[in-house]
Structure 1
Amino acid sequence: MGRARTWVRRGLLAFLLLAVVFAGVLGFVGYTESGARWALRQIDGRLPGSLSATEVGGTLARGLRIGRLVFEDDAIRIEARELRLAARWPELWAGRLVFEDLQAASIAYHGGEPDQEPQPLQVSMAPLPLPITVVSGRIDQLALRGEGMLSDIRGLRWHDLQLRDQTIQAQRLQADVEDWAVSANQAAITLDGKVPLSMALSWQATDGSLSGEGRIGGSLAEMEIQQQVSGPYPARLDGTAYILDRVDPRFEATVEWTEWIIAGYPFRGGTVTLTGTPDAYTARYRFDFESEQAGGLAQVNGSGQGNLDGLDAFDAQLATESGSASATGRLSWSTPWAATAELALEDLDPGLFHPALDGRLAGKARLAVGDEDPLRLSGIDLAGTLNDHPFSARGALTIADASLDCRQCELNLGRNRLQLDGSSAPGDVVLELVIDAPQLGIVWPGLGGRLVASGTLDGSPSLPRFRGSVTGESLGWESWFAESIDVQSRGAGQDAVNMTFSVQGLAWREQPLGIASGTVQGDLDQLELDLGWALDETTASARLLLERQGEGVSGELQSLEIEDPRAGTWRLQQPGRFAIAADASSAGPLSLRSDNGHLELAELKMTGDVLVIDAMLDQLPLRVFAFLVPGGMNISGTANAGLDLRYADEAWTGSVYWRQQDTILGVTQFDGEVTEVYVPTVSMDARLEGGGATVTATVSVEPGVSGELDLRLAEVAADTLVEGELSLQGTDWAWVPVVVPQIDRMQGVVAARFRLSGPLRAPGLSGQLRWTDGALVVPALNIPLTDIDLLLEGAPQAAATVTGRARAGSGDLEISGEISRLLQPERAVNLRLTGNEAVLLDWPDYRVWGSPDLVLEADRGGWDISGDMRIPRAEITVEDAPEGAVTPSPDVVVVGAEPEASEAVEYGGAVRLQLGDNVRVQAFGLDTRLEGELLLRQAPSRPLRAEGQVTLADGVFEAYGQKLTIESGTLTFTGPLDNPLVDVRAIRQVEAFTGPVTAGIHLTGRANAIQSTVYSKPAMAEAEALSYLMLGQPLSQATSSQGSQLSGAALGLGLRHANRITDQVGRSVGLDQLTLTQDGSEGTALVAGKQINSRLYARYAYGVFSRLGTLLLRYRLSQRLTLEAGTGENQSIDLLYTVEKY
């Protein structure tokens, strides 16, 4: 029993000792750095290669740090730096190895060279003895190097990575591969058999331009790929890759897209199919290319065979209703990339590529282009139509960077021809050219005229030299025009320049700019220029010397002379220097003097972003600005000006001033008399500093009118903010009708004071203008307006209001309303004009009183007038035209007469015109009152129209010495004001032997085609009724002269059946002939004839319109002889012999 207890005690002591030893070993290995190093040495001894570690720190239990860990054998080398490892060692008791964290600054894998030919891919791994879990980890940089493998992976991160048996799973993997960010979720792969795998893969370009997402499934034996690509070219990829048991992976893939926009053109419904291996695949594609210019879709399809280096052969066809095109060739995208192709066009509309082009082209060309080779188009042969003109192009073209080489190039469009042969490079230009372009307008919209040129262009692109000739006729470009140009350049030596040029009929926006001419002589290093210019009586000449200074030009203005009959002769006092370069330019000092004036440019200098200018002008005659004043006006006086400015740091500093002395504005009146307006003071001063400016301006007109303007600009720019004050005062306005002839005798006191604030282009206005004790006359209407009291008030951010009143004769006028955006071109006016029996027209023969209630609206489009106008009283008298007066034809042109200026202002609206009880008209024998109402409508650029009816009341009509009572009369307006529908009855009552007779005339129809009908009570023949109407007696009592009067009245009144009436009158008065004729040189005439006896016949013809009478007497001497005499405008006597033919 004692032995047993001793054995037990010794056993327990031994176990305790083993436990202590084991604990010590575990403590040494797991909790000391020395133990960690010992463990790494033990691992190294059991690996097939070698493992080395340096800079080892920490422990296995608390976390291990290894500065550099290297494993290598005969085939591979793996190097890890800054490795950190933290494990959960207690998990080993549960049969698994768990790493809490694993991080490395970098891991580099280097694969060795293969010892034999590549073998089909086989993937197999023995099951792991225990599961391994890495909760999280990060490898900042993973480099993979080896045969067929070159990749840098940055920021590899994972979460919940598990290795169990032969399966690897990860909840999430993320990494940056070159320019892509890749993420895989729910990834799993089994390294056995067909190697099944699955994951949700997403990726995005680091610049955010392209991204995609989808799933990868199946196995390496048959891997299924689905990806949805997003970005500027969205597409869907569906494919299958066969990798396992193959040396070269094989793939079958389809890419589809709905719409891609490339260079503004839509590519729709596209499909690309790839089949094969990376070293031998076939590609097929098709898509729709849409061009609105071509009127629809163009279908593109093609195919190619290639490898990783490019396409050994490809073909592409474009088919559309607008023609077709094709290309066949080769494409290499390996370094350096290159492509060659044979291009062909067939009946192709160039509008597919640019909306300004239209037509049909056919032809061919050879294309060659590459990364290290220029773009070459050779064998160019195109023909067809372009923008409705014949077109052709031939030659060979090479383009490389900034160089261009064109050999035997010829371009024809319409009758325009361009030939080029040569090259242009950054340092050298050698081009021979021939241009014959009689139809410049079809070459470039906006061009016009004809240009002919031939010669050689050489030198450098920055300073080319032309040798040859250039001529042009009727040349135009937008607002510029030249009747002709002529340039002749002849260079004797390699660098010699000898050129003459002239420009005739130069103009801008139809404003003549005169003619210019000159010569240029010297060489490329030094040129002498003699220039001349003339416009009407103004001429200028100058001589310059130009010298090349590096990349710039310097020179000397040796002479300058300007002659003008208004400004005198100005001459350059001494030569002045100037220089122009990329970094600095300068000019001055330059001084021009005339007999009384002086212009001096003291300094003009620009260095970088700094500009300095100092100039002054003294005693400049204002006559030089005569072309700026309106026609019929002239200006005289002198002006002084100066500026001293500096622009630096994006701000102006300095001063500007303008002074005018003794300014006189002369206006030529209608009678030829010249009236002068004296403007003694015009001045402007501007001070620029701190980026802004202050401006002060004053003007005075004698007698008694002055104005001042003070402005402060936040900065010198068109969109700056402005604040200022404007004032105006005056009491004598006698000069205003000289400038504004539409008004006369303006009087009153005008005082204005406004404050301006806001944007310079549209400042707000506050303040007021008041016109009191005012009067004026409107000459066209002869209306004197008196007691004028007008007020214009402005408020910031609001429309200006207008109120006013005036006396017009014995009546009143009032106006009210507002003007929006007063100081802007887009201003809008809305006014209301009311009145009570105001005189609207006051001429001796035309006097009209009115009571308006009108709304007047205006903007840039014109005026719109609407409302009511009541005319309570009017007295209108129109004198009869002198006898024999005729209205001139619209085709008549008066030689020397000034054409009337076209009205630029558009008018529109609708006004209701109401005629009162005292509106009387006396015109052309008519004396009547007018009653009724009209609606007047005016559409812009359309004739005035009227709707309504006017009644003739209490009226008489006097014609042919008789006064006819207007029984009834209406004028109905349904269109143009001058062509109403007339319905008027005028009667005369006569007491005849048989009883009372009422004879009348009925006028009906449009005013420009009135029909007249004579009627009577009791009823009788038209000629009988006309006799009662005109003579007051029956036709049987009419004499021959009265018969002629009746026939003339029938024609003059436009009576229907006038010839029948004249026949009735002729028979009644005993004439053999009484007719109206419209033949021959006499025009329309009344002809009366009488056979006096068997031998004598008399005829009298009276021209209705010419008012000339002709008497013809014909006396028969024998059967064949007749004596005929005539008198009238011409006299004649003839002896006629008559021969009868059978």
Structure 2
Amino acid sequence: PQGRGRAALALDGVVPFALAGEAGFDGIFETHAVAVQATLADSLLEPRLQARATLGAAHAEVDARVDSFAADPLRQLRLKAGGIDPAAFAAGAPSGEFAIEAELAAPAAGEGLLAGPIRVTNARPAAMDAGGIPLEALSAQLDWKRAELALDAVEFRLAGGGTIAGRVAWHPPALPDATASAAPAAEAGFGQFVAALELAGIDTRALDGRLPRQIVAGRVDAEAGAQRQTARLALMVGAARIDADASLSVVPAAPPSPVAAASAAGEGGAQTAREGAAAPPVPAPATDLPAAVHAGAARSFTLSARLRGVDPRALRSELPSARLDLDLDARGDLSAEGLPQAVALDFTLPDSRLDGRPLRGEGRLRVEGLRVPEAKIDLNIAGNTLRAEGAFGAPGDSLALRLDAPALAAIGFGLGGRAGAEGRIGGTLEAPNGRLDLFGENLALPGDVRLAGLNARVRLDSGIDGPFELALGLSRLGSRARGADGAPPPDWLASARIEAGGTRARHRLDADLATPKVEGVADTLRLALEGGLPAGEAPRWSGRLAALEVGGRFPARLQAPATLELGADRVRLGRVEIEAGDKGRIRLLETAWSPTQSVLRGDLAGLVVETEPRRRDGRPRRNADPLSLGARWDLAVGRTLEGEARVFRESGDISVEGELRTRLGLEKLEAVLNARGDRIDLAVDVQGKELGSVQGEAGLRARRGADGLWSVPPATAIRGAARIDMPSLAWLGRLSQESVELAGRIRGDFTVGGTIESPRASGRIEGRELGFTLVDQGLMLAGGELDVDFDQERVRLERLEFVSENRVRPRENRIPFERLTATPGRFTARGELALDSGAGDFRFDADRLPLLQRDDRWMLLSGGGTARSTFESLALDAEFRADAGYLEFAEALPPSLSDDVVVLGREPAPAQQGGGFAVNADVSVGLGDALYLSALGLETRLAGGLRIRLQPGRPLSAVGTIETVGGGYRGYGQNLTLERGLINFQGPLDAPGLNIVALRKGLEVEAGVAITGSAKRPQIKLVSDPEVPDPTKLSWIVLGRAPDAGSGADLGLLLPAAAALLGGPGGGMTEELSRSLGFDSFSIGQGELNSTTRTRSSRVLGSGQTVSGGPSVAGQVLSLGKRLGPDLFLNFEQGLGGAATLVKLTYQVSRRLSVIARGGTDTALDLQYGFSFR
């Protein structure tokens, strides 16, 4: 601690020596404020000490009375403390809020030193997995004597309602002159600890949320000394009962006498241990272990355990469900350091289950140092068997192994698939020998790793000249974890093959790897090593890199073999030359590593970087001038860092794929890394005709540890700066798939500071003469300026402004063009965004902004609004009005592709699932008094306004009215005057209400069309003044007069109009018109003449040509019909899009048979027989 202290003391020289004093301290301990205030009062013979202290949020008060010259001076102690959080004082400690109260006093008589109640409470209990302490309160009665420190009536109240109650005591080591006989004999050095505790209602899930919920109750008795420890448990864990006794004694080894014993028994289900039953006999010492082991051992142990009905899932939920029965006996010797020197272990799994499958086994294992003189194991785990028998570790030993695992998934732990192995291992660790055959199919491994196939074969003989053989093959190695779309990720490796053979002193290794195909091409690697392990030396492989070849997207090939040494203290690679691509060359002139010194020296040239995507058939798209890189490096790492590495452009350019392929016009690309002492600096310089210039530099200091290794700790300070100057943004517009044009210049300056783990960045971006144009839509923003400032906390949009002059005059002369465009339009925006929360607040305004600038689509817009954001949402509130506008569209809609047509390369993005970014919008739009529309024959001015709202989970809605002011509609060569035109929005945007009336004016009968209802269900009817029948109304609209019943010319004009205005045949006005003209049926619409499909025309009157099954004359077809008799029908068809005409007479001979005679464009006589199926 650091701070300021003060003290004062006054002592009277006359009995009882009155005493008065005070002391204080104020300062800092680590990061916590400290304040202590203490007073000393009464007399020297019986002083009283009072103190108050705070440490951060923790506080304490102490009141103590002392008899200075008594054998036990402390007579009274009061303690009150609170606000204690262990996490505030130790990193990684659990959190809580503890308070402590104690009221202790010395008994008037007896051997007691202090006695009284102690209480501890925790205001914030929490489970351990939540970083808390699952303790609510602790209470006890302290009884402190010279021979014993005891806590009586102990009660722990745990989270979840559980309790632990009982007594805990500690007997200190006995002193040489100790005479106390009432206390148990204490052991020298450590003393003796004794506990007797009752457990009740303990919820394991409340202790740690990762544990399955079990209720624990029972009793625990324990004694522990320096030489002997014993424990007895009687617990109920859920429905299972566990009874156990254990003891351990440790004394200097003196074989063959037993020096340690331990026993444990666990019973599950309904089995219980009788209280007070005699402890099981202590097993005999490990007399079957070598005598030499006993003589050198410091301690020996024996362990016997019995488990019945144990379910691992009761401990961890991710473990497989099981019922384990286990008998275990172990004995052995430990070294002075506590390491096992000799162990003999016997176990039996008599009748257990794993995930409902049988689990059985037995075994015996003896270990002596690094040798296993005896092993015999036979396990059956859920149908997977493992057998091992023999010895290993000495010359002549042999250990046989066999694995048959057809159902690895039943074991759990992330395993799956099928595997098997058979082999033998012998010899010693220094000179092993043996053989092993291994296979696996559809394997699943821990860590979500999957492997479709695995085969391995190993043969190894003893000695440096003993031959060995290795063959390993695998297929489809990857991850089982699936992406957000549910699809499995690509494999890491498609296949791998490793083969090795020879002797330890001289052998060869070949490896072939292949990745899955990317853009139709698989990357491959072929590697070959030749060499050996010299005899009598530390493990070090010496040989040569015989072959190295990379195929696929990045081809490379080793030109000549290179020497190679691999060892624990040295790695050295000789001179290497690699051919990369068509013209690339990589040279590794010097590559070496040792614990004290590493050297990297080399260069490369002509390395082509292809950024062009490949064709669909996998062939690369050739770039006429691809980017070619060169590099040089010369680095040494030892007591200091020294050297330089450079990567630079030799020639060529980078092409960026977009709507139009765009080249950056690179003139310079260079990155330089410098190392001097402990400092590392990096500089980057990129320049191009299109890109402009990008420059940056960064630096830091590395640290060399005590082990000689260099590192960059997370707390390392960094510094850096970058500058960008892009003289034109036009090249970015060419990357868009839309007809987008960008203009302007961007400049930026950036700095980086802070540390690796906590960097601090700041900078500024400026844009001038910015422009944005959507050519097809006529959207044009020009004269833009941008100023953005940012740091590690927020981004500030100081100014975004477009001052855009009008450049196009609309075709509509009624617009007050000169007045509105006398000064340029303007758009401004400003605001800021917090980077930690995404909270943003922006304001934007527009004043006569020329949003659309085409002579047929022209609009000036004014208004403004605000936008507030977080990382999960955006709230938009705006109000706009159209100062003036003219929108002109074609008389007919342009052709478009059907929804089921997909253009390759422009596939629509998959629809995103809900629950993502939430948008709330409230936008009001006023149409002003100068917005004119010319579309599909409609000429009018639009007025009114809408309030458009968008809310998460709801369709876009609108409230308001759009009204047509004057104007008319031109259809069928006539001009209709718009008497009324109202479109009312009161809900979803795609279902407004309609109230439209258009009349042909200036005639004796003013007739027209009235449209009501909604856009989804419009209701159309004919209206007139004065009222006349519907056919007459239609005639006045189309012909400007009453109809002539006998005129075929009138019929040809009125029927298409009726069909276009009021739909096809089948009731209503069209049926009325048909009757008035004397026909039984008529129809008009899309179709073809002779719509009955025939595979071959009649040979009686026809020419015999084949007629396709499709339409013969497509387009608008007028059809008139008249029934001449019960079975005779005459039909006339006229193509409105050409000169095709057809007269058809049909005679119904019977229910199924009819005769059809045709004349006109297609002359034929057909017999038609019909079938029907039910």
TM-score, normalized by length of structure 2? 0.63
Matched, 1:340 2:305: yes
The counterpart of 2:437, out of the listed 463, 468, 492, is 468
In structure 1, C-alpha distance between the alignment counterparts of 2:784 and 2:1078, rounded to whole Å: 73
The answer on whether the counterparts of 2:354 and 2:381 sit within 8 Å (CA) in structure 1 is no
**How far is 1:374 from its partner?**
6.4
In structure 1, C-alpha distance between the alignment counterparts of 2:444 and 2:1141, rounded to whole Å: 61
Most deviating of 753-762 and 260-269: 260-269
* Structure 1: segments with no counterpart, 5+ residues: 1-134, 137-156, 163-168, 173-182, 191-196, 204-208, 290-297, 319-323
In structure 2, C-alpha distance between the alignment counterparts of 1:409 and 1:776, rounded to whole Å: 74
The counterpart of 2:1012, out of the listed 1003, 1012, 1021, is 1003
The counterpart of 1:531, out of the listed 500, 511, 514, is 511
**How far is 1:621 from its partner?**
1.9
The answer on whether the counterparts of 1:661 and 1:680 sit within 8 Å (CA) in structure 2 is no
Instruction: Tell me the secondary structure at the aligned position of residue 316 of structure 2.
Output: coil
Identify the residue that residue 316 of structure 2 maps to in structure 1: 354
Identify the residue that residue 50 of structure 1 maps to in structure 2: none
Aligned positions of 1:517-596 closer than 5 A: 517-522=497-502, 527-533=507-513, 536=521, 539-545=524-530, 547-548=532-533, 552=539, 554-562=541-549, 570-581=557-568, 583-593=569-579, 596=583
In structure 2, C-alpha distance between the alignment counterparts of 1:1138 and 1:1030, rounded to whole Å: 42
Identify the residue that residue 598 of structure 1 maps to in structure 2: 585
* Structure 2: segments with no counterpart, 5+ residues: 1-44, 47-66, 77-103, 119-134, 170-179, 186-193, 250-260, 284-299, 334-342, 480-488, 516-520, 703-711, 807-823, 1094-1110
The counterpart of 2:198, out of the listed 250, 255, 258, is 255
Matched, 1:1067 2:1078: no
In structure 1, C-alpha distance between the alignment counterparts of 2:846 and 2:1139, rounded to whole Å: 50
**How far is 1:943 from its partner?**
6.6
Aligned positions of 1:119-134 closer than 5 A: none
The answer on whether the counterparts of 2:668 and 2:685 sit within 8 Å (CA) in structure 1 is yes
Instruction: Tell me the secondary structure at the aligned position of residue 609 of structure 2.
Output: helix
Identify the residue that residue 629 of structure 2 maps to in structure 1: 639
In structure 2, C-alpha distance between the alignment counterparts of 1:708 and 1:524, rounded to whole Å: 54
Which amino acid in the other structure matches residue 758 of structure 1? G
**How far is 1:853 from its partner?**
2.0
Which protein is bigger by CA-based radius of gyration? 1
The answer on whether the counterparts of 2:1064 and 2:1070 sit within 8 Å (CA) in structure 1 is no
In structure 1, C-alpha distance between the alignment counterparts of 2:1151 and 2:246, rounded to whole Å: 118
**How far is 1:1068 from its partner?**
0.7
Which amino acid in the other structure matches residue 754 of structure 2? G
Percent identity of paired positions between Structure 1 and Structure 2:
16
Instruction: Tell me the secondary structure at the aligned position of residue 591 of structure 1.
Output: strand
TM-score, normalized by length of structure 1? 0.64
The answer on whether the counterparts of 2:265 and 2:307 sit within 8 Å (CA) in structure 1 is no
Which amino acid in the other structure matches residue 599 of structure 1? I
Aligned positions of 1:334-733 closer than 5 A: 336-344=301-309, 351-357=313-319, 361=322, 364-368=325-329, 377-379=347-349, 381-383=351-353, 385=355, 391-396=357-362, 407-412=377-382, 418-422=384-388, 431-436=401-406, 443=412, 452-456=419-423, 458=425, 467-470=436-439, 472=441, 484-489=452-457, 491=459, 497-502=468-473, 510=490, 515-522=495-502, 527-533=507-513, 536=521, 539-545=524-530, 547-548=532-533, 552=539, 554-562=541-549, 570-581=557-568, 583-593=569-579, 596-608=583-595, 610=596, 612-623=598-609, 636-647=626-637, 653-667=642-656, 670=659, 675-702=662-689, 705-715=692-702, 716=712, 720-729=716-725, 731=727
Instruction: Tell me the secondary structure at the aligned position of residue 653 of structure 2.
Output: strand
**How far is 1:843 from its partner?**
4.3
Distance 1:790 1:889, change over 3 A: closer
Residue-by-residue CA offset, 1:137-185 (whole Å, 9 max, x unaligned): xxxxxxxxxxxxxxxxxxxx998569xxxxxx9989xxxxxxxxxx995
Supply the RMSD in Å over aligned alpha carbons.
Answer: 6.1
In structure 2, C-alpha distance between the alignment counterparts of 1:666 and 1:713, rounded to whole Å: 34
**How far is 1:663 from its partner?**
3.5
Distance 1:1061 1:171, change over 3 A: closer
Structure with the bigger percentage of helix? 1
The answer on whether the counterparts of 1:1014 and 1:1022 sit within 8 Å (CA) in structure 2 is yes
**How far is 1:496 from its partner?**
5.3
In structure 1, C-alpha distance between the alignment counterparts of 2:742 and 2:216, rounded to whole Å: 77
In structure 1, C-alpha distance between the alignment counterparts of 2:1035 and 2:263, rounded to whole Å: 112
In structure 1, C-alpha distance between the alignment counterparts of 2:280 and 2:475, rounded to whole Å: 55
Identify the residue that residue 928 of structure 1 maps to in structure 2: 940
Instruction: Tell me the secondary structure at the aligned position of residue 707 of structure 1.
Output: strand
In structure 2, C-alpha distance between the alignment counterparts of 1:633 and 1:1086, rounded to whole Å: 58
In structure 2, C-alpha distance between the alignment counterparts of 1:1107 and 1:430, rounded to whole Å: 96
**How far is 1:614 from its partner?**
0.5
Distance 1:962 1:530, change over 3 A: same
Aligned positions of 1:148-297 closer than 5 A: 160=70, 186=107, 200=115, 214=141, 226-228=152-154, 235-237=164-166, 255-256=198-199, 259=202, 270-272=217-219, 285-286=234-235, 289=237
In structure 1, C-alpha distance between the alignment counterparts of 2:345 and 2:941, rounded to whole Å: 91
**How far is 1:432 from its partner?**
2.0
The answer on whether the counterparts of 1:159 and 1:170 sit within 8 Å (CA) in structure 2 is no
Most deviating of 1104-1113 and 655-664: 1104-1113
The counterpart of 2:754, out of the listed 749, 752, 758, is 758
The answer on whether the counterparts of 1:1089 and 1:1099 sit within 8 Å (CA) in structure 2 is yes
Which amino acid in the other structure matches residue 592 of structure 1? I
**How far is 1:848 from its partner?**
3.1
Which amino acid in the other structure matches residue 825 of structure 2? D
Residue-by-residue CA offset, 1:633-690 (whole Å, 9 max, x unaligned): 96723222244445567x855433221222412245647xx55332121112222345
The answer on whether the counterparts of 1:566 and 1:621 sit within 8 Å (CA) in structure 2 is no
The counterpart of 1:815, out of the listed 790, 812, 828, is 828
Distance 1:1086 1:851, change over 3 A: same
Structure with the bigger percentage of strand? 1
In structure 1, C-alpha distance between the alignment counterparts of 2:627 and 2:908, rounded to whole Å: 31
The answer on whether the counterparts of 1:184 and 1:200 sit within 8 Å (CA) in structure 2 is yes
The answer on whether the counterparts of 2:1007 and 2:1034 sit within 8 Å (CA) in structure 1 is no
Instruction: Tell me the secondary structure at the aligned position of residue 1065 of structure 1.
Output: helix
Instruction: Tell me the secondary structure at the aligned position of residue 554 of structure 1.
Output: strand
In structure 2, C-alpha distance between the alignment counterparts of 1:481 and 1:1000, rounded to whole Å: 71
**How far is 1:1066 from its partner?**
1.8
Identify the residue that residue 848 of structure 1 maps to in structure 2: 859
In structure 1, C-alpha distance between the alignment counterparts of 2:509 and 2:445, rounded to whole Å: 26
Which amino acid in the other structure matches residue 198 of structure 2? V
Instruction: Tell me the secondary structure at the aligned position of residue 1061 of structure 1.
Output: helix
Identify the residue that residue 1114 of structure 1 maps to in structure 2: 1146
The answer on whether the counterparts of 1:621 and 1:636 sit within 8 Å (CA) in structure 2 is no
In structure 1, C-alpha distance between the alignment counterparts of 2:1160 and 2:280, rounded to whole Å: 102
The answer on whether the counterparts of 2:975 and 2:1000 sit within 8 Å (CA) in structure 1 is no
Which amino acid in the other structure matches residue 226 of structure 1? D
Instruction: Tell me the secondary structure at the aligned position of residue 1062 of structure 1.
Output: helix
Matched, 1:1134 2:1130: no
In structure 2, C-alpha distance between the alignment counterparts of 1:530 and 1:391, rounded to whole Å: 43
Which amino acid in the other structure matches residue 684 of structure 2? A
The counterpart of 2:996, out of the listed 970, 985, 1001, is 985
Most deviating of 335-344 and 1089-1098: 1089-1098
**How far is 1:521 from its partner?**
2.3
In structure 2, C-alpha distance between the alignment counterparts of 1:557 and 1:579, rounded to whole Å: 10
Which amino acid in the other structure matches residue 834 of structure 1? D
Identify the residue that residue 887 of structure 2 maps to in structure 1: 876
The answer on whether the counterparts of 1:990 and 1:1032 sit within 8 Å (CA) in structure 2 is no
Identify the residue that residue 117 of structure 1 maps to in structure 2: none
Distance 1:913 1:604, change over 3 A: farther
The answer on whether the counterparts of 2:418 and 2:443 sit within 8 Å (CA) in structure 1 is no
**How far is 1:571 from its partner?**
1.9
**How far is 1:941 from its partner?**
9.4
